[in-house]
Amino acid sequence: MTQTTNGYQAAPLNGGVWTPLATPFLADEEIDYAAWKTHVLRLAGSGSGLVIMGTNGEAIHLSTPERFELVRSAREYLAEAGLSSTQIIAGTGTGSVKETVANCRDAARAGADAAIVILPGYFAGAMAKDRFAVKQFFTTVADQSPIPVMVYNFPACVGGVDLDSDQLIEIAQHPNICGTKLTCASIGKASRVAAAITRPGFHVWSGFADIIIPGMMAGMNGVIAGSGNIIPRTLVHLYNLTKQAIDEKDWTKLQQAQEVQKIVSHADWVLFKAGIPGTKAALERWYYPAGVCRMPLQPASKEVRAMLEAELQQALEFERQLEIKANVTPAKP
């Protein structure tokens, strides 16, 4: 285990629901740490794990000191609130092995349990043709990272490079690779990787909540979904129902999960279309201000805000019911 600056001992990751947190910025684009604390504690209290500096967190827009402080402060807030068992995955991927490794070391010191690393996108054309370079990138980072490393496969953010199951299985032979997040939505790929890598503590997670049931049926054991910023309890509820249905072979539980999946699938698609600005607009509309995005991202348009208002009502009502049941302040009507 890794000792952090907060005295936290990193632990092997759990399966389940993880949320890539939006990073709140003030009007001058500085990080709003008061809003950050509110957001961290609400999501941790919902039962979601935290992914800090994922795509939704605008990791590409953050400096090295900001990356460290976001993890460090989150770990501090969790300890103060009695939520120290909440796990943190830190996004550490950058354009080079050298800087990515440095970010992994910083994340470990700050209190992360694991790192999630995306393939560099700037030289995507060259990387796509060089399978050795792709493998070397991840395995060299894993060699030097003091915390386990997840492989983040997100073709849309790395010039279209889509790691296939053969690559992922080969990379996953490294003992410090603890899993993969598949934001390619390939259930077949997930099934092949999960079947090939069966060691304890290895996870295959979807990047979309709209395939929680089919993904888990195929061998996935969790999800990292941006919609968790808005409806975290709903995603946790769906995950738990699905896991119970699989573990207990309970057809009734599966039917219940299917009804929740319909709600989640619609909301997940709406928030995907709305993007990071839309997620921040939804947070402000139903929970608390999450500030602006860093340029060049633009604020959510009137059309996006109207879509959110019209299309998220069913999911927000379901989330409200779960919040009231948990005796926490529900989303605004």
CATH of domain 16-326: 3.20.20.70
Contact 172/193 with Cβ under 8 angstroms?
Answer: yes
DSSP assignment of 80-91: HTT-TT--EEEE
What residue numbers does the annotated binding site cover?
224
Compute the distance between CA of residue 117 and CA of residue 332 in angstroms, rounded to an integer. 35
Compute the distance between CA of residue 243 and CA of residue 277 in angstroms, rounded to an integer. 32
- The gap between the terminal CA atoms of the chain, to the nearest Å, is 44
Task: Supply the pLDDT for residue 328.
Answer: 96
Catalytic hit among 181, 243, 253, 280 = 181
Compute the distance between CA of residue 114 and CA of residue 13 in angstroms, rounded to an integer. 7
How many residues would you count in the chain?
A: 333
Structure tokens at 267: 């909301």
Q: Are strands 16-20 and 203-206 parallel, antiparallel or unpaired?
A: unpaired
Contact 235/264 with Cβ under 8 angstroms?
Answer: yes
What residue numbers does the annotated binding site for pyruvate cover?
224
* Residue from 12, 183, 15 nearest 114 by CA: 12
Task: Supply the pLDDT for residue 6.
Answer: 67
Tens of each residue's pLDDT in the chain, 333 residues: 555 566 788 889 999 999 999 999 999 999 999 999 999 999 999 999 999 999 999 999 999 999 999 999 999 999 999 999 999 999 999 999 999 999 999 999 999 999 999 999 888 888 888 999 999 999 999 999 999 999 999 999 998 999 999 999 999 999 999 999 999 999 999 999 999 999 999 999 999 999 999 999 999 999 999 999 999 999 999 999 999 999 999 999 999 999 999 999 999 999 999 999 999 999 999 999 999 999 999 999 999 999 999 999 999 999 999 999 999 999 999
Dihedral angle, C-alpha 184, 201, 268, 32, nearest 10 °: -110
Task: Supply the pLDDT for residue 4.
Answer: 59
Task: Supply the pLDDT for residue 33.
Answer: 98
Catalytic hit among 8, 77, 152, 239 = 152
Angle of the 251-286 helix axis to the 232-248 helix axis, nearest 10: 170
Q: What share of the chain is helix, strand, coil (3-state, %, to 5)?
A: 55, 15, 35
The answer, yes or no, to whether the previous bond of 296 is cis (omega within 30 of 0) is yes
Residue 129 annotated as catalytic: no
Task: Supply the pLDDT for residue 278.
Answer: 98
DSSP assignment of 145-205: -SS-EEEEE-GGGTTT----HHHHHHHTTSTTEEEEEETT--HHHHHHHHHH--STT-EEE
Contact 133/161 with Cβ under 8 angstroms?
Answer: no
Residue 152 annotated as catalytic: yes
How many alpha carbons lie under 13 Å from residue 147 in its C-beta half-sphere? 33
Maximum CA extent, the chain: 53
Alpha carbon distances (Å) from 242 to 53, 54, 86, 188, 323:
28, 25, 21, 19, 20
